[in-house]
Structure 1
Amino acid sequence: MSLKNVNENAEVDERLAALITNANAIRAIASAVEGTIGPKGLDTMLVDKFGSVVITNAGVTILDLMEVSHPAAKMLINVAKAQHQEIGDGTTTATLLAGSLIGCGVEQVMKGVPVARVIEGLRFAAKIALTVFRDQARQVSDVHDPILKQVALIAGREHEDIADLVVEAAALIGREKLQDKSFKLADTICSTVGAENKVFLGVIVNKERINRQMPKKIENAKILVLDDALEPEEVEDEALGTESGFAKFLELRQEFEQNLRKMVEIGVRVILVDRGVDDFAEEFLTDAGILTVQRVSHKELRRAAEHTGARTLKRTGLRKEPAELIHYLGTARRVYEDEKLGQVLIASGGGKPMATIQVGAATEEVVGERQRIAKDAAASVQVAIQGGVLPGGGAIELAALREVEKNRPQLRGMAAYGMDCVAEALKKPFTQIVANAGFNPLEKLGDVLAAQAETGKFSLAVNCETGQVADMLSLGVIDPALVKIHAFKAASEVAEAILRIDTIIKMKAEKEEEGKGFPESFRE
């Protein structure tokens, strides 16, 4: 790649070199995850400079941890991360689709097709594919539908124990809560070395009580949730050197002690604190028999408040009268500490029903991967309930491919070549799954397309165990529709953005010296 200097602080790629450079970077990212897709996909080992190892099959984890410097590659990784944040699964599919769209688009441009025509065809074909995905989605109306187990199995890489946990938790939480966009079933998953796999009816806080003298178990607990530190308000060091400042310090300490007594008065038995707890408060609460947990993560604090029905308070809120403070308390039938795992469990809260999925394993590396698998399975089950399901194994993409090819005559001129890019991308998930399973992708692609055309079934693909054409719905190879839809939309958007980049300019370094922005002759 040659570079043209336009001044001492900027560099510009020559025409088409930018497109080729970007396409190569995208291909490199796609190739890093393509070997993980499908039931026969393999794992990737990531190693940092200190020798720490992460072994994973999750595309988003690979993309998140791999070292990347190219701006186009970072764009693709950001799109994959957005897919994971929005849907919770499908990052590998989105990456493969984007890589194929961009690779084919660059080939068309190199042959002389204008970028504008490629994008026109890409947009037209993308709408057709997305229509197929939406029209063929089967809605899931019941959280007890057996199809959810299959969704969890596929997303959970056939870990049946994890799939059972996720489905059980989804049934306990209920359809209404799972359809709430602000609630994430994946957030209910925690992992601990040495823990047993279980679904816990309540909330797990991954912290211990402050000290062993506090009660280990509380029945019928009134719970205070403090989104702050349990400490007196501070007086500045300079003010402490004055008589009035020291008097203020004593006043605040006295007020703080009164607030602690107020907690005992209204019957608080458990306190969850976002930050630290003052030494005096720790001693006071220990003597009062109040189980206190400090430095609870914001996410766990929020879930505990929601489950117990508590309203979170700042420390200034403790000044309220006892009759008013009572309305801020939550309740739980049982709060206890698991000393072996170093966790506090809050069961049967008086607020919204909650279920926590706990997965365990023998080592830190394995338990981390099992947590990632469980989160993928949980996210897939939730979006399946929200948007329905589609056959997996690349079957629905091939059905969309046939529809795109059927509509190709509607676009005349060079825009049709943009449709060809979408057609190639729609083949990619199927061919990569088949290749990872050890079969000839071209041969199997022809077999499946012929079988779909002959039978009219959009759910036909290849059984990765036998290599035979099979109905994915009958085999239980099922994916959430929203995973497919969002992955394809994300891939189309990033492909269009990359293809539209005609020039890369290196921005000038920011000058920090005095006289910035003035000609050299004006500076002393």
Structure 2
Amino acid sequence: MESQDEPILTPEERKPFSGALTVNAEAVRRVAEAVRGTLGPKGLDTMLVGDDGGVIVTNDGVTILNRMDIRHPAARMVAGIARAQQEEVGDGTTTATLLTAALVEEGAKQVARGVPVSKVIAGIRRGIRYALEKMQAMAQPIWDLEDDWLQRIVYTAGREQEDLTELVIEAAVLMGREKLLEKDFRLADAVMAHPRAEHGVFNGLLVPRGRINLRTADTGTPVRVLLVAEDFRPEPVDEEALGTEAGFAKQESLKQEFERIILKLVDLDVDLVLVEGEVDSGAEEVLTDAGIVVAQQVGLDQLVRVADYTGARILKRTGLKRSPEELEPLIGSCTEVEDEGRLGWLRISGGAGKPFASILVGATTEEVVEERERIAKDAAAAAQAAIRGGFLPGGGAAELALAREVEKYGDTVQGMEAFGVAAVAEALHRPMSQVVANAGFNPLEKVEEVKALQWKRQTVSLGIDCDRGAVCDMVDMGVVDPLPVKYHALQAAGEVSTAILRIHTVVKMRSTDAESMR
């Protein structure tokens, strides 16, 4: 690699990049400042205060970034990483944010020294690709849902709350490995919370619902389930058409057709009807008299879950016109439905479709239960990620070991792209540095101590015990993290940081109102 002490471009040649990049780098740094103090076992909470006086106290990175008043466009790009990380793997949002800020900072330093920004970006991309390959090779798999490593991962992600750890592990075992490996399934979605609920794991579904008919009869066994997307009402007729004789006749025809659909459901011996939208009052009365439970304002995502669990198919309003023979195989079944009136949920168990377990989290107040729900979701996401990809040493140990590998790789890179690779190596020091700083120790001293011992002992798992400040084996201590969490955090950080480094100029767009007047 060329000497890092000599400028590559003249000061005049660097001017086009310095303005926007400096401002963007500062905005990214401030976003990272808001969450960095929450990282690690000694991380503290952040208090978010709203204009209306509402308060949220949390150390959850994605919650902080989602609720912050962020106005700078580059800073918003970084906040978007947290949302993407949460949606993809459900954890690691703070690490992703810190890595992004570190990459932008280190990249900006190289550009300020005169390295062409295109070379820095190309080098960062090479360094990230190399680190991700090494990271995958470093991971250890988990095959057994009752593996001690899985419990340790959940315990760490669950902020060391034993009750939540037990709930998540129990739910994972009930779901089974095959279910956890499904691409579109998220164990975190199984977490539900309510301040008046007693926490536990329920082998079945808890479905938030809107209004339910008050007079319900005991359902049979099995319970036959019909799912309806949209409103359960007669098809509407255009208001202008109602002023004509033909339009009025069409409306009467549609009402009669809807009445035949209602009677069809009664004849099909349906026991439970879940509707995404509103239910016609007349239809609700007829179905109630027939002993059919009707719940409306059930979210579409919940309908999808019920469909998977009971084996039902979600029907649109027009689909109900099918014959009884065609509707029969589209009806799902379960063994029991119970209305949790005070919680506003339906408890569905014994589904004929795919297995499902619900994790119920309770607490004393709304504020506390919200935070416990977030923690339980993080723990559930970590459990699923570990099953899917295995685990790595935690506490920043894996990233520090990768930094050493990337440094060696950088020595083999010819040309100025090596400066970008060096930026990746430096950024990979940041997670352990922040964990150590949050624990109250000197990060520079401790990180260098760990780095030297990792090299001397040829191990990737050494880190800092945040209680004693001593160098310890993170795996022996049970401090491990799921591979997918770390992998996606570094991958996303690389993508967003290079996008920010590419920004040459920031220009305010003309408002749409001004544009329409031209």
TM normalised by structure 2 equals 0.93
* Corresponding residue of 1:272: 274
1:272/1:301 contact within 8 Å kept: yes
Q: Which amino acid aligns with 1:150?
A: R
Equivalents in 2 of 1:238, 1:112: separation in Å? 69
CA distance in 2, matches of 1:409, 1:239: 77
Aligned partners of 1:236 and 1:404: how far apart in 2? Answer: 66
* Aligned twin of 2:177: 175
| Aligned residue number for residue 503 of structure 2 | 501
* Match 1:332 to one of 334, 348, 369: 334
Residue 355 of structure 2 is aligned to residue 350 of structure 1: no
Aligned counterpart, 2:7: none
Structure 1 residue 14 displacement after superposition: 5.6
- Displacement, 1:237? 3.4
8 Å CA contact 1:194–1:362 kept in 2: the answer is: yes
Tell me the distance in 1 between the aligned counterparts of 2:84 and 2:483. Answer: 17
Shift of 1:412: 4.3
Give the aligned length. Answer: 504
1:163 paired residue number: 165
Match of 1:379 among 372, 378, 381: 381
Distance 1:436 1:467 in 2: 12
1:216 Cα deviation from its structure 2 partner: 6.7
How far off is 1:375 after superposition?
A: 1.3
- Whether contact under 8 Å (1:216, 1:336) holds in the other structure is no
Task: Specify the code of the residue in structure 1 equivalent to 2:423.
Answer: C
CA–CA separation in structure 2 for the residues paired with 1:418 and 1:336: 59
Deviation at 1:307, TM superposition (A): 0.4
Report how far residue 352 of structure 1 moved: 0.8
| Matched AA of 1:265 | D
Deviation of 1:209 (Å): 5.5
In the other structure, the counterpart of 2:145 is 143
Give the letter aligned to residue 32 of structure 1: A
Aligned-residue offset at 1:115: 1.9
The reply to whether residue 187 of structure 1 matches residue 196 of structure 2 is no
Q: Equivalent residues in 2 for 1:30-429 (5 A)?
A: 30-207=32-209, 210-215=212-217, 219-429=221-431
* Aligned counterparts of 2:20 and 2:390: Cα–Cα separation in 1: 40
Q: Output the amino acid matched with 1:318.
A: L
Structure 2: which 5+ residue stretches go unaligned? 1-14
Secondary structure in 1 matching 2:335: strand
> Could you tell me how far apart the structure 2 residues matched to 1:365 and 1:179 are?
33
CA-CA distance at 1:179 after TM superposition = 1.3
Kept in 2, the 8 Å contact 1:217–1:336? The answer is: no
Identity of aligned residues (%): 50
CA distance in 2, matches of 1:63, 1:399: 29
Q: Residues 192 and 367 of structure 1 are in contact (CA less than 8 Å); yes or no, is this contact kept in structure 2? A: yes
CA 1:366–1:162 in 2, change beyond 3 Å: closer, same or farther? same
Structure 1 regions of 5+ residues with no counterpart? Answer: 1-12, 517-524
* 1:297-333 deviation per Cα after TM superposition (whole angstroms, max 9, x unaligned): 1111110111000111122222222222211110000
Secondary structure in 2 matching 1:358: strand
Distance in 1 of aligned mates of 2:293 and 2:326: 22
Asked whether the 8 Å contact 2:392–2:480 carries over to 1, the reply is yes
Instruction: Give the conservation status (yes or no) of the 8 Å contact 1:128–1:400.
Output: no
Task: Give the distance between the partners of 2:448 and 2:424, measured in 1 at CA.
Answer: 18
Alignment partners' CA distance in 1, 2:299 and 2:511: 39
RMSD over aligned Cα, in angstroms?
1.9
Contact kept in structure 1, 2:211 and 2:297, CA below 8 Å: no
CA drift of 1:295 comes to 0.6
1:423 is displaced (CA, Å) by 2.0
- 2: distance between equivalents of 1:506 and 1:346? 52
Paired residues of 2:223 and 2:336 also in contact (CA < 8 A)? yes
Q: Which residue of structure 2 lines up, in the alignment, with residue 7 of structure 1?
A: none
Deviations 1:88-145 (A, max 9, x none): 1111111101111111221222222222332233233223322221111011122222
C-alpha separation between the residues in 1 aligned to 2:210 and 2:121? 56
DSSP-derived class of the 1:280 partner: helix
AA at the equivalent of 1:134: Q
CA–CA distance in 2 between the matches of 1:392 and 1:88?
17
Aligned to 1:5: none
Tell me the distance in 2 between the aligned counterparts of 1:215 and 1:59. Answer: 47
Secondary structure class of the residue paired with 2:337: strand
Shift of 1:191: 1.2
Greater Cα offset, 212-221 or 506-515: 506-515
Which secondary structure state, in structure 1, belongs to the residue aligned with residue 350 of structure 2?
strand
**2:223–2:272 Cα contact (<8 Å) kept:** yes
Question: 1:225 is aligned with what amino acid?
Answer: L
* Conserved? CA contact 1:209–1:344, under 8 Å: no
What is the SS of the residue equivalent to 1:504? Answer: coil
CA contact (8 A) 1:305 1:312 kept: yes
- Residues 413-461 of structure 1 show CA distances to partners (whole Å, capped at 9, x for unaligned) of 5433323322221111001001111111112112211221222121110
